[in-house]
């Protein structure tokens, strides 16, 4: 037996009181104690942290039983993320910890353990102020492993794999990180491609190689074996992808020779009712939703994500723009920058550089003193150090659209650094030429110019810096700004600039899915200017982007409805208040504005069988059809046509009173897996099965069989209903619950009931 890696996700206990026996209660990892903390309207940094009282010190403990201590072996504890300021003890002796809450850390515990029971105690201190400017959660919220390794072993973070393409052959170069003999093997259809070396470098060639791309994310399994004499003492496996990405000035980004646009979404790591304790299967569901609209890229804003997240991106074909931290000497990270920047940057690059999904590294976002001498010095330092670990990908920095003249403000004393960076004051630079000059200074130190909300300046930036490509690292979803006014409200969708200019490699919307924190004010608990609600329900603008990003014929219609509640969106990140229903009981033949999103050549629209004339999508600047229909209860049907033939359609029907509940599916098969979590949504429906959009009744969930309810979520961030419950009111006619499998096989029945409606039942066969 070589290395043994054991996940230790159950058997933990937790307390927010003194770490004494009577205070500990059982918990399972991943765990976020803040998501169930009380909501406090006047909480310190409440808008940033979703008004959840997270200023606490938490304690975790667990026993690990070892039957024997293996001779010549080392034992390590590996934490993929603890938020934050953690300290770890083993059998009463301190063995280390980690400050920054997003970095993996590994502790050698060999000298502190013995045969039998060993106690692990972890302190998590979330009292440092300020916390992140988004909901950061609190606790041991990622995977924990016990590693048993022979004293001479391979270190995954020292291994680097580089790939190249020569004709039809894939060339894989492996830096092993050791000077001992290592043999490598890639098996393809029962053919083994091998190589070996004792000098730290191995080269393997694969003929007729299958390439990794967003469209076809092919992966190979690479096995490395470390030898001591004639004996194998360690083995590790890596999934790798062979692909080639080239940035060609003025022409765009090419993946394996094919020009590719970045159809991207910025995302945070929380997931509604789960907080930051998000298992991989929930992220797979979310990424599947993104894929359905044609998204091919994500930006992990603004920190290192879980390792499993990147595994899924490799599998599904997502390009990933990853960055280690937000601000530098300002903001929440200022308390760590001076002593920890190198450690945290190293963590990101060494842990993740072998993922084919990573196409670009970022080293910061909207930092203080942008383009000034002090900032450029740090930018140069960060990039140069990153290149010592990986020189195969472009390195960038995401620029704020605000540039300022030098001032004498002491950044270390600014509490709200984002407000300071964003606010317009007497140091703001307005002249376009001066702005572009500041961009040019930054461009000297990055490989791609990453612009947050600067679409109106793209032509001027490109004219001044033609040798660098541009990425919209953050973009508005609907309202493009004006050269003289960043926050303008003309109906120009920023994606149009990506299509228009070859030198713009893509755009990444802020954001893909609603997240907790960064609220515009109570009662909203988070950011709502996104394409999806927290329970994975689609917002109307998601269909508009599907019409831009997807080739599969589609058509969609929504109507303007300003009777809906204000969700607290920050104004320029908002979009017109469209909704997917045809239900206006307050109107009688009043004209209703609508929008139609489609990637078809033509569209027809009918109201109760009567057809109305609609211009072609190409007649509209954003290819989003707009118009009016007189409100009459019934059915609206839109049809998409290509070459004069109908290829898709979408209908809206007026709903009657809600009389029953219905899950989106009636039955599903799942494999028995302890801790596996899945989100299920139930909807209010009328007697004909039409969803009742305006229904808001309370729904109560229950489950029988080998499963448990984890939480409830209706997507409404203005609601203060608790997540850790089995009941919640519907929002837009639906509500969701997350169900966790306990690991046994059997039959699960998930039920939903609401007063005055027939209940709904979902059968889950666990096999």
What are the angstrom distances between the C-alpha of 81 and each of 105, 181, 449, 626? Answer: 8, 33, 30, 47
Angle, helices 280-292/307-316, rounded to nearest 10 degrees: 40
Q: Which two tokens stand for residue 112?
A: 């502190």
Structure confidence at residue 331 (pLDDT): 84
Show the tokens assigned to 587: 């109107």
**CB contact at 8 A, 583 and 654:** yes
| 50-54, 288-292, 651-655: range with lowest mean pLDDT | 50-54
Closest CA to 458 of 476, 477, 472: 472
Q: How far is CA 99 from CA 31, 127, 193, in A?
A: 18, 12, 42
User: What own/partner pairs with CB < 8 Å and gap ≥ 24 does 330-333 have?
Assistant: 330/367, 330/368, 330/411, 330/412, 330/414, 330/417, 330/420, 330/421, 331/130, 331/133, 331/368, 331/417, 331/418, 332/130, 332/131, 332/132, 332/133, 333/100
Question: Beta-strand (E) ranges in 686-759?
Answer: 698-704, 707-713, 727-729, 734-741, 746-753
- Is the per-residue pLDDT at 424 higher than 70? no
Contacts 24+ apart (CB under 8 A), 26-31: 27/60, 28/675, 29/140, 29/141, 29/142, 29/143, 29/144, 29/277, 30/139, 30/140, 30/141, 30/142, 30/143, 30/276, 30/277, 30/278, 30/279, 31/60, 31/139, 31/140, 31/141, 31/277
DSSP string of 158-216?
Answer: G-EEEEEEETTEEEEEEE-S-SS-EEEEEEETTEEEEEEESSSEEEEEETTPPPB-SSS
30: preceding bond cis by omega (within 30 degrees): yes
Whether the Cβ atoms of residue 597 and residue 555 lie closer than 8 Å to each other: yes
Residue 412 predicted with pLDDT over 70: no
Angle at 93 between CA 90 and CA 98, to 5 degrees: 70
Going by their DSSP bridges, the two strands 602-607 and 667-670 should be labelled as: unpaired
CATH number among 3.90.1150.10, 3.40.50.10240, 2.60.40.10, 3.40.30.10, domain 660-766: 2.60.40.10
The full DSSP string for 261-300 is -EEEEEE-S--GGGTT---HHHHHHHHHHHHHTT--EEEE
- Residue position matching structure tokens 């053919």: 191
State the pLDDT confidence band at 426, using cuts at 50, 70 and 90. confident
pLDDT in tens, 464-482: 999 999 999 999 999 998 8
The strand pair at 297-300 and 262-267 is best described as: parallel
pLDDT digits (tens, 9 = 90+) for 336-390: 999 999 999 999 999 999 999 999 999 999 999 999 999 999 999 999 999 999 9
Sequence ranges of the chain with CATH classification 2.60.40.10: 156-240, 551-653, 660-766
Which superfamily, per CATH, for 156-240? Immunoglobulins (2.60.40.10)
- The answer on pLDDT for 193 being more than 90 is yes
Q: Label residues 193-225 b or e (16+ Cβ within 10 Å = b).
A: bebebeeeebebebeebebbbbeebebbebebb
The pLDDT score that the predictor gives to residue 485 is: 84
Q: Select from 730, 728, 683 the least CA-distant residue to 701.
A: 728
CATH code of the region 551-653: 2.60.40.10
pLDDT score for 238: 97
| Structure confidence at residue 528 (pLDDT) | 96
In this predicted model, what pLDDT tens digit does every residue of 625-645 receive, in sequence order? Answer: 999 999 999 999 999 999 999
Q: Supply the pLDDT for residue 413.
A: 67
CATH 3.20.20.80 occupies which residues in the chain? 245-524
Which residues, including other chains, have CB under 8 Å from residue 692's CB and lie 6 or more apart?
Answer: 583, 655, 656, 657, 658, 683, 684, 685, 686, 733
Neighbour-count burial of 362, counting CB atoms closer than 10 A to its CB (0-12 exposed, 13-18 middle, 19+ buried): buried
Mean local confidence (pLDDT), 573-583: 96
Please give the pLDDT value at position 261.
Answer: 98
3-state secondary structure of 101: coil
Per-residue pLDDT tens for 668-712? 999 999 999 999 999 999 999 999 999 999 999 999 999 999 999
Distance CA 36, CA 16 (A): 12
Q: What is the predicted pLDDT for the residue at 330?
A: 85
Structural contact between residues 661 and 752, judged by C-beta atoms closer than 8 angstroms = yes
Q: Is the pLDDT of residue 411 over 70?
A: no
Answer yes or no: are the C-beta atoms of 106 and 54 closer than 8 Å.
no
Q: How high is the pLDDT of residue 427?
A: 86
Give CA–CA dist 739/703, Å, rounded.
8
Task: Find the DSSP H helices in 416-536.
Answer: 417-422, 432-443, 458-464, 495-500
Of 538, 496, 545, nearest to 513 by C-alpha is 538
CATH architecture of residue range(s) 4-150: Sandwich (2.60)
Cα 474 to Cα 745: distance, rounded to the nearest angstrom: 45
Is the confidence at residue 415, as pLDDT, over 70?
no
Contact yes or no for 743/672 (Cβ under 8 A)? yes
* Mean per-residue pLDDT of the chain: 96
Q: Residue 527 in contact with residue 511, Cβ under 8 Å?
A: yes
Percent of the chain's residues with pLDDT above 70: 98
- Name the class of domain 245-524: alpha beta
The pair of structure tokens assigned to 258 is: 């094919």
Which positions ≥6 away from 128 have C-beta within 8 Å? Answer: 84, 85, 335
């Amino acid at each position: 037996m070589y290395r043994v890696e054991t996940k230790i996700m159950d058997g933990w206990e937790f307390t927010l009181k003194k770490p004494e026996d009577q205070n500990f209660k059982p918990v399972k990892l991943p765990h976020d104690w803040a998501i169930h903390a009380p909501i406090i309207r006047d909480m310190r940094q409440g808008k940033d942290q979703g008004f959840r009282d997270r200023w606490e010190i938490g304690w975790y403990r667990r026993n690990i039983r070892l039957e024997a201590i293996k001779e010549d072996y080392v034992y390590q504890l590996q934490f993929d993320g603890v938020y934050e300021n953690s300290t770890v003890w083993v059998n009463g002796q301190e063995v280390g910890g980690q400050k920054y809450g997003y970095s993996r850390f590994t502790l050698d515990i060999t000298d502190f353990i013995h045969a039998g029971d060993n106690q692990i105690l972890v302190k998590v201190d979330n009292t440092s102020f300020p916390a992140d400017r988004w909901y950061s959660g609190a606790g041991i919220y990622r995977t924990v492993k016990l590693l048993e390794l022979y004293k001479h072993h391979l270190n995954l973070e020292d291994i680097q794999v580089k790939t190249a393409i020569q004709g039809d052959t894939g060339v894989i170069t492996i830096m092993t990180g050791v000077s001992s003999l290592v043999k490598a093997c890639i098996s393809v259809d029962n053919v083994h491609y091998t190589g070996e070396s004792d000098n730290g470098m191995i080269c393997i060639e694969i003929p007729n190689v299958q390439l990794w791309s967003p469209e076809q994310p092919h992966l190979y399994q690479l096995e490395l074996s470390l030898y001591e004499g004639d004996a194998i003492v360690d083995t590790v496996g890596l999934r790798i992808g062979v692909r080639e990405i080239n940035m060609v000035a003025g022409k765009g980004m090419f993946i394996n020779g094919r020009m590719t646009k970045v159809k991207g979404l910025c995302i945070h790591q929380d997931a509604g009712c789960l907080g930051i304790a998000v298992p991989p299967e929930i992220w797979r569901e979310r990424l599947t939703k993104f894929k359905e609209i044609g998204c091919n890229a994500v930006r992990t804003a603004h920190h290192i994500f879980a390792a499993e997240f990147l595994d899924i991106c490799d599998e599904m074909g997502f390009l990933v723009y990853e960055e280690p931290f937000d601000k530098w000497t300002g903001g929440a990270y200022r308390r760590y920058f001076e002593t920890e920047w190198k450690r945290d940057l190293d963590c990101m690059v060494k842990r993740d550089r072998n993922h084919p999904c990573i196409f670009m590294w970022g080293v910061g976002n909207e930092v203080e003193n942008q383009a000034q001498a002090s900032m450029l010095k740090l930018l140069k330092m960060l990039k140069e150090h990153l290149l010592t670990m990986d020189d195969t990908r472009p390195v960038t920095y995401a620029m704020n659209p605000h540039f300022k003249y030098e001032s004498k403000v002491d950044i270390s004393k600014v509490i709200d650094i984002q407000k300071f960076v964003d606010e317009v004051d007497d140091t703001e630079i307005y002249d376009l030429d001066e702005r572009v000059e500041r961009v040019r200074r930054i461009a000297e130190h990055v490989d791609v110019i990453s612009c947050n909300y600067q679409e109106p300046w793209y032509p001027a930036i490109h004219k001044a810096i033609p040798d660098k490509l541009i990425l919209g690292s953050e973009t508005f979803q609907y309202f493009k700004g004006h050269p003289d006014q960043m926050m303008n409200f003309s109906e120009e969708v920023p994606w149009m600039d990506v299509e228009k200019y070859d030198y713009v490699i893509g755009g990444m919307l802020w954001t893909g899915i609603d997240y907790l924190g960064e609220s515009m004010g109570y009662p909203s608990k988070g950011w709502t200017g996104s394409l999806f609600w927290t329970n994975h329900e689609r917002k109307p603008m998601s269909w508009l982007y599907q019409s831009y990003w997807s080739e599969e014929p589609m058509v969609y219609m929504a109507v303007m409805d300003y009777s809906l509640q204000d969700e607290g969106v920050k104004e320029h990140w908002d979009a017109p208040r469209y909704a997917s229903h045809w239900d206006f009981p307050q109107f009688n033949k009043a004209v209703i504005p609508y929008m139609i999103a489609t990637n078809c050549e033509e569209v027809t629209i009918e109201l109760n069988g009567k057809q109305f004339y609609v211009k072609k999508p190409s007649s509209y600047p954003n290819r989003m059809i707009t118009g009016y229909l007189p409100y009459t209860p019934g059915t609206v049907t839109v049809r998409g046509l290509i070459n004069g033939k109908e290829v898709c359609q979408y209908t809206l029907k007026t709903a009657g009173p809600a009389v029953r509940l219905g899950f989106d599916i009636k039955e599903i098969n799942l494999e028995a897996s302890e801790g596996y979590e899945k989100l299920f949504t139930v909807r209010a429906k009328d007697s004909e099965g039409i969803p009742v959009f305006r229904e808001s009744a309370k729904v109560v969930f229950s489950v029988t069989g080998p499963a448990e309810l984890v939480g409830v979520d209706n997507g409404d961030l203005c609601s203060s209903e608790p997540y850790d419950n089995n009941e919640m009111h519907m929002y837009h006619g639906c509500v969701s619950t997350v169900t966790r499998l306990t690991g046994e096989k059997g039959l699960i029945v998930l039920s939903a009931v609401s007063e005055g409606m027939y209940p709904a039942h979902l059968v889950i066969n666990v096999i």
